[in-house]
Amino acid sequence: MQRLDALGPITASTDRFVATVASLTDVQVAGDTLVPPWTRGHVITHVARAADSLCRLLTWALTGVETPQYTSMDARAAEIEAGAGRPVAALVADIRHTAARFEDAVRALPPAAWHHEVRMRTGELRTPAALIPTRLRELEIHHADLDVGYSFADIPADAARWIIGDIVEALPGGLRRRRCVWRRPTPASSRLWAPAVPQSGAGRPTSSPGSAVALPERGSPWPAAARSRRRPSGSDRCPGARRPGRAVPRH
């Protein structure tokens, strides 16, 4: 089934993410990431809670009963903060369990539910088919955010194409309409950016749908200003932040 095509890359991405997390020590989990002030524990917990949030949207598509992605931004931040200090074993189990729940929720959708639109936290409307590559983007980009050796250059070509297509869908203006229906990347869109990804932080893609983005810089395979530069709200700031004013992921 074409709508399930991305589940294979998501499973592979989850396995890579879990392998990296499992290789960490409890001390390393408290270390810095590429998205300060979050620690690795914050990033890992966020990936798990984001899976739960997508499951809520898939439930909305399944039942027709509005189910918000998050009850509030304060609740989202509190969940991430509460889970950030857990030991590695608990973090690994959380990622595995939430990944399984997400896949089960996708596979449980009947044909009619795939056409139902749900509203993401950012306000954009997406069908379930458009939520699947969002999960892949979460896993791959936050894997690099852990800053433990996995970089954007390590993202497999097939996963990179799905992620690029998802970023293109989120571009403002004429390149994207607010009513989003996912499409596999076409040969034309795939040529816009090479599947290889730069190792530096410059031009780092965002995993926050609806963030301010721009067209790619010359020679860069990723959208140049895809990283959100908005000032974090109080609900997005972690206690004890080391660099006040730096944005944390808002998806």
Average pLDDT of span 100-110:
96
User: Which structure tokens are listed for 175?
Assistant: 């390149």
Does pTM top 0.95 for this prediction?
no
Tokens 């998806």, residue? 251
Give the C-alpha separation, 135 to 182, whole Å: 13
User: Which of 9-13, 170-174, 227-231 has the least mean pLDDT?
Assistant: 227-231
How much is the pLDDT for 2?
55
Q: What digits encode the pLDDT tens for the residues 197-223?
A: 333 333 443 343 223 233 333 333 443
